[in-house]
Homo-oligomer: A and B are copies of this chain.
């Protein structure tokens, strides 16, 4: 199993997910500015999800970059991650169309949480497959981002039933956390290259 085809397939699925999300923003029949207003919530949900899928693509890329072997377990852990990412268009559309009411906002958090868990599981599967000297293991280090973000999403899910704006705030914080450049993997890789 070559890494190239695993990357290409994942890229394909992620590219499709990030693009078909926009189809949930249905073209309104009227042609006035007021016809766009009900779409504002869908648009904002789309922006948030676009960021998240972009972050996943970016991180997925770095993670696989640090992998040397591809095993059957990695293939399925990868498909598991893609499964939860594939639910982003549904969760995004539902949250947007209902203008951030409780249940859809909570469900969005469930999808974020499951994707974060699936990502963590894939990371562990790769580290196990690469052995003790795994570059990825060194690169990830204490992985406080990978541990903090599922906690944020898990907290946001019940909160959505009382204060959904706090849940949304936590989702935004979760995205910003990852947007701040993280040079761990790049650093360890370049150190490894020097030695």
A contact set with B: CB distance below 8 Å: 1-2, 5, 7-9, 11-20, 22-25, 27-33, 36, 47, 50, 54, 57-58, 61-62, 65, 72, 75-76, 79, 82-83, 86-87, 89-90, 93-94, 97-98, 101-104, 107, 179, 181, 183, 186
5 A–B contact pairs at CB < 8 A? A17-B19, A22-B86, A22-B90, A36-B103, A72-B183
Contact of A87 among B13, B14, B22, B24 (CB under 8 A): B22
| Contact assessment for B18 and A62 in the assembled complex, using a CB-CB cutoff below 8 Å | no
Q: Chain B contacts of A183 at CB under 8 A?
A: 72
**B101-A31 in contact (CB<8A):** yes
Chain B residues, Cβ within 8 Å of A62: 1
Assembly of this chain: how many copies? 4
Q: A62-B1, A103-B32 are in contact. Are A9 and B9 (CB under 8 A)?
A: no
Instruction: Report how far A9 CA is from B15 CA in the complex, Å.
Output: 6
Take A7-B5, A27-B90, A27-B94 as given contacts and tell me if A15 and B12 are in contact as well, using a CB distance cutoff of 8 Å. Answer: yes
B181 contacts A72, C-beta separation under 8 Å: yes
Q: Which residues of B contact A79 (CB under 8 A)?
A: 50, 54, 58
* Beta-carbon nearest neighbor of A14 in chain B: B9
Are B20 and A16 in contact, with the CB atoms below 8 A?
A: yes
> Shortest CB–CB separation between residue A17 and chain B, in angstroms?
6
